[in-house]
């Protein structure tokens, strides 16, 4: 989730220290925070981040948490938006050691815990992978083998956030499968695609699960989520499947 207008606050602000910064893609960086007061969150939740300018003006945005719930640090993967108020500040100004105002966790709809079961259908567009990677990290940390498949759309191979980590999760063969679709590049693996998500693609992806998904999570821009859900419906996803969406941007 990137530069989404925030939900109503659930907790007080605290000053979090930036402990590390990692470049994920040319436009996405991961920022790791140490919090003076630890928080307990579910995979899929988000936090508010506040930037206050020298003149006193402040802007607040919501960002999904990429960390697994048991991770003591909070990881936010922030995409640079050219006309954004907050993301350029992070990409161009924030450095390790800086203090950032943060509050959360927030959101109770787009969450997954192991007791919710599966199989899981995860659909992400670009930085929409962030809450989904938190779910996959939780699944791995608990050695949970609920069947799960991630269909991730990106423009090019270099635009895939957490690419090496996702490929390693796929290579573990523990019931999780990664499916990539590149919209402006040639696929690297025969199991992947090189077009926008459509009903035929979704039908083939669903067929790779051992049984129909009990839960489906789709995250990305408004347009991407609409396309993803329409494709799932066209692919005759069961009406019993609990489909949950998280949207950001235009």
pLDDT-derived band at 8 (thresholds 50, 70, 90) equals: very low
Q: Does 149 fall in a domain?
A: yes
| pLDDT given for residue 53 in this prediction | 77
pLDDT of residue 3: 46
Same domain, 65 and 119: no
pLDDT higher than threshold 90 for residue 35: yes
Q: Is the pLDDT of residue 34 over 90?
A: yes
69 within a domain of the structure (yes/no): yes
pLDDT of residue 147: 98
Looking at residue 55, what is its pLDDT?
81
Which of 106, 129, 154 corresponds to the end of one domain?
Answer: 106
- Distance CA(152)–CA(164), nearest Å, equals 14
- Report the candidate in 140, 214, 219, 134 with the shortest Cα–Cα distance to residue 175: 140
112 Cβ contact list (under 8 Å, min separation 6)? 42, 43, 44, 120, 135, 138, 215, 217
Residue 167 makes CB contacts below 8 A (sequence gap 6+) with: 178
User: Could you tell me if 167 and 205 lie in one domain?
Assistant: yes
Of residues 99 and 3, the one with the higher pLDDT is 99
User: So what's the pLDDT on residue 179?
Assistant: 98
Mean predicted confidence (pLDDT) in 36-52: 94
Name the residue range of residue 142's domain: 114-248
The whole-number pLDDT of residue 5 equals: 42
CA torsion 122-126-130-131 (nearest 10°) is: -40
The CATH number of whichever domain residue 63 belongs to comes to 2.40.30.10
Q: Give the pLDDT score at 74.
A: 97
What helix, strand, coil percent values describe the chain, rounded to 5?
Answer: 25, 35, 40
pLDDT of residue 141: 95
Length of the chain: 250
Domain assignment of residue 88, yes or no: yes
Statement to judge: residues 120 and 101 lie in one domain = no
User: Could you give the CA distance from residue 122 to residue 113 in angstroms, rounded to a whole number?
Assistant: 14
Residues 22 and 76 in one domain: yes
pLDDT in tens, 165-221: 999 999 999 999 999 999 999 999 999 999 999 999 999 999 999 999 999 999 999
Is residue 244 within 8 Å of residue 150, measured between CB atoms? no
Confidence of residue 6 (pLDDT cuts 50, 70, 90): very low
> Of 50, 73, 106, which residue is a domain's last?
106
Give the residue ranges of DSSP H helices in 2-111.
87-92
Q: What domain count does the chain have?
A: 2
pLDDT for 84? 85
Q: Is 220 helix (H, G, I), strand (E, B) or coil?
A: strand
Structure-derived torsion over alpha carbons of residues 181, 190, 185, 124, reported in degrees to the nearest 10: 10
């Amino acid at each position: 989730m990137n530069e989404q207008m925030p939900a109503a606050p659930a907790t007080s602000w605290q000053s979090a220290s930036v402990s590390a910064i990692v470049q994920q893609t040319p436009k996405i960086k991961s920022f790791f925070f140490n919090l003076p007061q630890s928080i307990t969150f579910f995979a899929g939740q988000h936090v508010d981040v506040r930037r206050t300018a020298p003149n006193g003006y402040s802007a607040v945005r919501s960002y999904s948490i990429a960390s697994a719930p048991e991770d003591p640090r909070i990881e936010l993967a922030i995409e640079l938006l050219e006309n954004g108020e907050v993301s350029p500040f992070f990409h161009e100004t924030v450095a390790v050691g800086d203090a950032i105002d943060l509050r959360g966790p927030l959101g109770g709809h787009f969450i997954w815990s192991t007791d919710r079961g599966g199989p899981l259908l995860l659909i992400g567009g670009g930085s929409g992978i962030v809450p989904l990677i938190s779910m996959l990290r939780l699944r791995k940390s608990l050695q949970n083998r609920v069947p799960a498949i991630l269909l991730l759309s990106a423009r090019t191979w270099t635009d895939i956030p957490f690419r090496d980590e996702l490929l390693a999760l796929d290579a573990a063969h523990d019931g999780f499968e990664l499916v990539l679709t590149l919209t402006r590049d040639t696929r690297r693996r025969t199991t992947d695609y090189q077009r926008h998500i459509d009903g035929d693609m979704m039908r083939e992806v669903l067929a790779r699960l051992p049984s129909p998904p009990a839960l489906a999570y789709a995250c990305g821009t408004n347009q991407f989520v609409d396309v993803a859900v329409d494709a799932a419906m066209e692919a005759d996803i069961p009406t019993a499947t609990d489909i949950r969406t998280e949207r950001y941007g235009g």
